[in-house]
């Protein structure tokens, strides 16, 4: 009966999934040129209390994560083998070699200069047992509590995780130390680990010395704040040229520019995805643009975005050094995230601010030795594509800024460029094209991201020409380039953008087709880029080459290919389309080509096309100046209107969604939680994941009540304000969805603050005045009250005073009186418990003032009962120990107490309550338990599993599913001692039919992020919510997704039993009896492992499997059962272990007398 709203925070090794919005449509896109943000760093952990700014780093050098093994003439960022060790290697950091260790199961591969799978690179060297670098970890064999974390003595940058009762060693992300107080990887200043300074010096060997690095006489710059009134006297320290083959000469003549964006976050990726400045091939580019610096919000001056990369790891220096190879290196300012808000508008509209910025920018560029500045404000007037946000004066102000910048940069020989929108609407609103063309050295048109997951249907990321399947005739590179020219940009000033990545989708219904415009959501994140809806080219080509993805090519080559497998789909440009676009650049006489971004090409050559295959294609086409073999295309004249000529009809698989929303008879109220974006393992849920077609109302959960002022305030300002979650959810109003802010929730209802609020007339008046301002400020359309509960604080009816009941009614009445004249909505989430209803709610009065009342008809049972039970029964069962704990009773009781049926919205859970069984032999309802079930991989909360975690267990991991044949409750499932109850799609359908039959106001779900929104289980995205919409609204038909694999159910004989009729109850059939007895359930899943006859153990607890290294046998009470190790592990004597530690072979034969017993299968 309770709803727990908990934010489970955890740390992980590394994660930098940058997301943004489409430069074309204004909806979400992934990565592109804008993964920067000015508010917070993206780090490898999430603190329980998020700071408001990046932790201040000391001005002394940052401690190195591993033991420094001495200065040596090594190349910064390069990797070296460690003598006499297969599992260690050295990395050169600021001219010092640092010892690192490969992950478990990996060995150092000297040929590849990387850690590789052990079975591909067997270790034959025996390390020196006396070497301090390979000392035995004495804690490894000590017992530990599974899931716990502990420090590693004398190693600040590592930690122990307890896996299967044994300590395993892991490393924190670069720059972090393990904090033994909070058990997370943390900034060194917080971790306060002193072990590194206490380490004994490393024994010298061969060429490595023991001397420590010389302490610099001046502290290196580690912050981005400078006193610009003081002269800079310290010159940048010279770096050696990049490790480049001196004989490797670029074939690029320079007539056509090849502008390459370098991103300062790709180095955070793991494995083959890591991209460093040293990975740049100087022969492929004429210009490198370093992305990004950002605009300081207060000072309106340029500053570094990531000082850890830019300064501490000297990325500025390491990229600028390519000037020695003849390249021009510019610094980019802006990007998608940094373009949020009004700061760029304030800059360009103030002559004084422009002057200050220019003076500062020139000094910044010269200090760090860049060749110029690339302006990437997205976009003047149309802030982040919304043309109603910015003032019209932005257009003239931006032109003035470029004119004044050019006046200062050109005399110094510095370049000035800009990345601009390809969208006709933005071009018209935001750019004075002739002025831009006059003062910019080139204009980079971002002719990509025309389509993506924000469209809710498949589309090509970067069409070259229009095709009939496209919604907008101007969403293609050909139109965009010609439109820029027609508005006054000379062709030679234009550089055309090309993507080295693809936009990825998850098809809703693969059986309906896999072509363009198929209804879809964001695709599964890449294994290296880690961003939903986005794949680097090296991830795409690997899928095609090694994983059986099918490729579709447009016969007319108006766009690049798309590829698909299962429900996964991606559009991209291959080498042939890149060649065609490069030839288009030649034929149009443009200034050149631009790519986003270097780190996304197959720069390691993992797909057999050589290194940088797309970049080499551009190089081949654009190397030479114009020749007699070119086929020039006449560009449009200045001011010439463009005529749109549709392509000839072409048969292509196109699919359209047929969902026409009219006036909804029933509400579908969806809760959005502002903490689900912190989840990992596929559980991250962002505002852009909301499907507007599936909800009539979205409630943003939660704001909270300030205990001292009695006013509303954001719960998580980092998400709500800094990351603009309020704004990004409220944006769904444009699609016809009503968006309310919810206040309260389980955790915020603790204590007496809500009681103090409602029992004080002056406090109520102050709250109401403030909340209206709050709602109007952030654009919400109403308020959802979720105090749990009046009188019965957090269900304990002995805590609150009886006056809460009357005072809550007064509070609601006064809120309604203030809201209705302003057209604001007022709703509430209430308890389904008869006891709480009687004690806390004046139902008939509340029904007058609320627009709807959401009855939380779930959490009737959970781990707090100490026995199994169903999370959300629909009807009473004969074995229920509390016969009022079901939705049928609760809804009818609210109506009987005076609530109008049309005001009632019935809740449904998109999650399950899980339990750990006390006895595995007792696994039905009311079975004793010893606590909540094991936490889910994504939700990370004990006793709780999201539906997507449940369906993966039942469909992919062999959990047994039990169904009530008369559907009074949804199913439950179990495996071993784990047990979970939940509602599947069929139960949601029955509940929606109940809502219609009862004439209620609609249905409510908790919560959007808990449904299978990414279609992990292969039926359709958000199957439970879609099922509710199919019953209550005009939503297209689709499958009722199964929760278990098809299998003939066990047949049983049942006898009828009478169902108790509560006042006003509704039976599942027209009869008052249902034909069942609850002594037998139906098994829809696989049977449990068969037991082996008693007497076969012969005194052994564990027995290795005869033919499968991943399995083992365990003796339970004289019987042998077969169990499996977790994926990727092998059985090793008495535990599951890494394969290299196991002695198990595929042809393993048991050599004891057990072999004669014929029970090993």
Contacts of 831 (CB under 8 A, 6+ apart): 1, 788, 789, 792, 795, 837, 840, 841, 855, 856
CA distance 986 to 989: 5
Cα-based distances in Å from 1066 to 278, 893, 987, 1010: 71, 12, 16, 29
With b for 16 or more beta-carbon neighbours within 10 A and e for fewer, the 313-352 pattern comes to: bbbbbbbbbbbebebbbbbbbbbbbbbbbebbbebbbeee
For residue 612, what is the DSSP state?
S
| Phi, psi for residue 659 in degrees, rounded to 5 | -125, 100
Q: Identify the residue whose tokens are 């981005």.
A: 224
Give the rounded distance of the alpha carbon of 159 from its chain centre.
25
Instruction: Answer whether 538's CB lies under 8 Å from 501's CB.
Output: no
Strand bridging mode 562-565 / 550-552? antiparallel
Tokens coding 633: 């295309």
Instruction: Answer whether 91's CB lies under 8 Å from 82's CB.
Output: no
CA distance 999 to 901: 6
Confirm whether 788 is a catalytic residue: yes
Indicate which residue of 151, 539, 781, 788 is catalytic.
Answer: 788
Tokens coding 252: 């690029």
Cα-based distances in Å from 553 to 547, 550, 577, 654, 1058: 18, 10, 10, 14, 63
Would you tell me the crossing angle of helices 613-622 and 575-588 to the nearest 10 degrees?
Answer: 30
Would you tell me the crossing angle of helices 1023-1032 and 985-998 to the nearest 10 degrees?
Answer: 30
In a 13 Å sphere around the CA of 156, the CA atoms on its Cβ side amount to 23
CA distance 984 to 915: 18
In the chain, how many H helices and how many E strands? 24, 51
CA distance 1142 to 1133: 8
Query: In 3-state terms, what secondary structure has residue 143?
Result: coil
| Phi, psi for residue 626 in degrees, rounded to 5 | -55, 140
Tell me how far apart the terminal alpha carbons of the chain are, to the nearest angstrom. 46
* Cβ count near 765 (within 10 Å): 12
CA distance 285 to 252: 8
In a 13 Å sphere around the CA of 405, the CA atoms on its Cβ side amount to 31
Task: Concatenate the DSSP letters of all residues of 954-1016 into one string.
Answer: HHHS--EEEE-TT-SS--EEEETTEEEE---HHHHHHHHHHHHHHT-SEEEEE-GGGS-TT-T
Handedness of CA 531, 537, 538, 542 (dihedral sign): positive
CA distance 100 to 107: 12
Q: Which residues pair with 674 in a beta bridge?
A: none
Contacts of 820 (CB under 8 A, 6+ apart): none
Task: Give the gyration radius of the chain's Cα atoms.
Answer: 32
CA distance 627 to 586: 10
Query: In 3-state terms, what secondary structure has residue 384?
Result: coil
Residues involved in catalysis? 788
């Amino acid at each position: 009966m309770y709803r727990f709203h908990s934010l489970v925070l955890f740390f992980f090794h590394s994660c930098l999934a940058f997301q943004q919005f489409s430069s074309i449509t204004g909806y979400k896109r992934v990565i592109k040129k804008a993964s920067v943000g000015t508010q917070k760093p993206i780090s490898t952990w999430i603190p329980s209390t998020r700071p408001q700014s990046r932790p201040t780093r000391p001005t002394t050098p940052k401690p190195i994560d591993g033991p420094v093994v001495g200065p040596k003439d090594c190349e910064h960022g390069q990797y070296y083998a460690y003598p006499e060790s297969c599992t260690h290697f050295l990395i050169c950091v600021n001219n010092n070699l640092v010892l690192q260790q490969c992950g478990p199961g990996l060995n150092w591969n000297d040929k590849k200069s990387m850690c590789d799978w052990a079975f591909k690179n067997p270790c034959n060297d025996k390390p020196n047992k006396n070497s301090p670098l390979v000392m035995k970890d004495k804690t490894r064999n000590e017992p530990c509590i599974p899931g716990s974390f502990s420090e590693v003595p004398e190693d600040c940058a590592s930690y122990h995780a307890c896996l299967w009762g044994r300590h395993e060693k892991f490393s924190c992300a670069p720059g972090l130390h393990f904090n033994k107080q909070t058990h997370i990887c943390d900034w060194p200043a917080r971790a306060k680990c002193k072990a590194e300074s206490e380490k004994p010096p490393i024994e010298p060997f061969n060429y490595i010395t023991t001397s420590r690095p010389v302490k610099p006489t001046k502290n290196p710059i580690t912050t981005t704040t400078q006193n610009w009134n003081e002269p800079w006297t310290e010159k940048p320290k010279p770096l050696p040229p990049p490790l480049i083959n001196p004989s490797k000469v670029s074939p690029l003549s320079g007539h056509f520019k090849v502008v390459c964006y370098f991103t300062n976050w790709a180095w955070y990726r793991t494995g083959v995805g890591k991209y460093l400045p040293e990975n740049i091939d100087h022969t492929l580019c004429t210009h490198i643009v370093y992305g990004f610096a950002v605009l300081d919000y207060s000072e309106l001056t340029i500053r570094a975005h990531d000082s850890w990369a830019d300064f501490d790891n000297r990325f500025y220096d390491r990229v600028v050094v390519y000037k020695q190879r003849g390249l021009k290196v510019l610094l980019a300012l802006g990007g998608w995230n940094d373009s949020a808000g009004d700061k760029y508008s304030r800059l360009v509209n103030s002559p004084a601010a422009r002057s200050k910025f220019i003076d500062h920018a020139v000094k910044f560029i010269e200090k760090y030795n860049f060749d110029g500045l690339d302006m990437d404000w997205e976009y003047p007037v149309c802030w982040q594509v919304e043309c109603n946000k910015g003032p019209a004066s932005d257009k003239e102000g931006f032109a003035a800024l470029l004119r004044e910048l050019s006046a200062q940069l050109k005399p110094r020989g510095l370049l000035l460029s800009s990345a601009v929108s390809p969208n006709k609407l933005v071009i018209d609103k935001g750019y004075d094209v002739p002025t831009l063309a006059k003062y910019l050295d080139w204009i980079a048109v971002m002719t990509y991201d025309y389509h993506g997951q924000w469209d809710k249907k498949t589309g090509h990321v970067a069409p070259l020409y229009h095709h009939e399947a496209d919604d907008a005739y101007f969403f293609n590179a050909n139109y965009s380039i010609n439109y820029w020219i027609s508005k006054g940009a000379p062709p030679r000033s234009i550089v055309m953008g090309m993507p080295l990545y693809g936009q990825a989708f998850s098809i809703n219904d693969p059986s309906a087709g896999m072509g363009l415009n198929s209804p879809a959501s964001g695709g599964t994140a890449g294994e290296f880029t880690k961003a939903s809806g986005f794949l680097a080219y090296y991830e795409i080509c690997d899928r095609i080459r090694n994983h059986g993805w099918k490729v579709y090519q447009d016969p007319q080559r108006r766009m690049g290919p798309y590829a698909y497998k299962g429900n996964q789909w991606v559009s991209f440009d291959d080498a042939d389309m890149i060649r065609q676009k490069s030839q288009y650049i030649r034929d149009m006489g443009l200034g050149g080509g631009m790519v986003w971004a270097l780190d996304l090409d197959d720069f390691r050559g993992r797909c057999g096309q050589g290194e940088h295959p797309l970049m080499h294609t551009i190089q081949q086409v654009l190397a030479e100046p114009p020749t007699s073999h070119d086929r020039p295309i006449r560009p449009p004249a200045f001011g010439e209107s463009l005529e749109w000529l549709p392509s000839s009809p072409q048969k292509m698989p196109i699919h359209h969604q047929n969902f026409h929303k009219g006036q909804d008879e029933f509400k579908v109220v969806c809760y959005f939680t502002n903490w689900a974006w912190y989840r990992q393992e596929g559980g991250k849920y962002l505002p852009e994941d909301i499907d507007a077609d599936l909800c009539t109302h979205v409630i943003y959960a939660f704001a909270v009540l300030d205990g001292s002022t009695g006013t509303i305030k954001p719960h998580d300002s980092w998400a709500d304000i800094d990351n603009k979650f309020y704004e990004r959810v409220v944006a769904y109003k444009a699609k016809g969805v009503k968006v309310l802010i919810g206040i309260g929730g389980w955790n915020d209802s603790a204590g007496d603050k809500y009681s103090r609020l409602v029992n004080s007339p002056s406090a109520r008046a102050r709250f109401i005045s403030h909340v209206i301002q709050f709602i109007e400020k952030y654009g919400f359309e109403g308020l959802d009250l979720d105090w749990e509960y009046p009188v019965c604080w957090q269900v304990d009816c002995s805590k609150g005073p009886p006056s809460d009941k009357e005072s809550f009614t007064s509070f609601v009445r006064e809120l309604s009186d203030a809201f209705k004249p302003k057209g604001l909505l007022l709703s509430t989430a209430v308890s389904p418990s008869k006891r709480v209803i009687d004690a806390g709610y004046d139902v008939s009065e509340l029904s007058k003032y609320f627009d709807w009342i959401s009855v939380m008809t779930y959490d009737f049972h959970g781990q707090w009962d100490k026995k199994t039970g169903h999370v959300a029964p629909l009807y009473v069962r004969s074995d229920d120990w509390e016969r009022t704990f079901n939705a049928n009773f609760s809804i009818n009781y609210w109506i009987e107490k005076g609530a109008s049926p049309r005001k009632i919205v019935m809740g449904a859970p998109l999650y399950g309550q899980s339990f750990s069984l006390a006895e595995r032999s007792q696994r039905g309802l009311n079975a004793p338990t010893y606590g909540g079930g094991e936490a889910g991989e994504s939700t990370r909360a004990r006793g709780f599993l999201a539906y997507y975690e449940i369906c993966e267990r039942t469909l992919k991991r062999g959990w047994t599913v039990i169904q009530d044949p008369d559907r009074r409750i949804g199913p439950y499932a179990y495996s071993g001692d784990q047990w979970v109850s939940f509602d599947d799609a069929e139960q949601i359908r029955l509940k929606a039919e109940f809502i219609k039959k009862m004439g209620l106001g609609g249905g409510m779900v908790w919560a959007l992020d808990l449904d299978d929104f990414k279609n992990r289980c292969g039926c359709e995205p958000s199957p439970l919510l879609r099922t509710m919409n199919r019953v209550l609204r005009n939503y297209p038909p689709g499958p009722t997704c199964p929760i278990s694999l098809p299998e003939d159910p066990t047949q049983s004989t049942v006898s009828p039993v009478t169902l108790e009729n509560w006042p006003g109850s509704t039976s599942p059939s027209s009869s008052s009896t249902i034909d069942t007895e609850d002594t037998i359930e139906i098994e829809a899943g696989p049977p449990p492992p068969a037991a082996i006859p008693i007497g076969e153990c012969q005194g052994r607890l564990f027995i290795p499997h005869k033919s499968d290294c991943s399995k083992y046998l365990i003796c339970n009470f004289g019987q042998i059962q077969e169990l499996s190790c977790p994926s990727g592990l092998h059985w090793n004597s008495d535990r599951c272990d890494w394969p290299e530690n196991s002695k198990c072979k595929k042809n393993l034969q048991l050599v004891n007398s057990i072999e004669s017993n014929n029970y090993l299968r």
